[in-house]
Structure 1
Amino acid sequence: MIDETEVKRLWWHSRRGMLELDVLLIPFVEKVYRTLEHEDQLRYQALIEHEDTDLFAWFLERVVPEDPEIHKIVLRVLEHARTP
Structure 2
Amino acid sequence: MDETIIRRLRWRTRRGTRELDALFGSWLDESFAGADEATRKAFDELLDVQDPDLWDWVMGHGRPGREDFARIIDEIRARHRL
TM superposition score category, shorter chain reference = 0.7 to 0.9
The equivalent of 1:18 in structure 2 is: 17
Task: State the secondary structure of the residue aligned to 1:80.
Answer: helix
For structure 1, the residue ranges without an aligned partner over 5 or more in a row are none
Match of 2:75 in 1: 76
Taking structure 2 as the reference length, the TM-score comes to 0.87
The CA deviation at 1:31 is: 2.2
1:69 Cα deviation (Å)?
Answer: 1.9
Q: Which runs of 4+ in 1 moved over 4 A?
A: none
**1:47 aligned residue:** 46
Aligned to 2:8: 9
Shift of 1:58: 0.3
Would you say how many aligned residue pairs link Structure 1 and Structure 2? 81
Aligned partner of 1:56: which letter? W
Aligned-residue RMSD, C-alpha? 1.3
Aligned to 2:33: 34
Deviation at 1:20, TM superposition (A): 1.8
Distance 1:76 1:38 in 2: 17
C-alpha deviations, 1:19-63, integer Å up to 9, x for none? 221120111112221111111111111111100011000000100
Residues 16 and 51 in structure 2, CA contact (< 8 A), matched pair in contact too? no
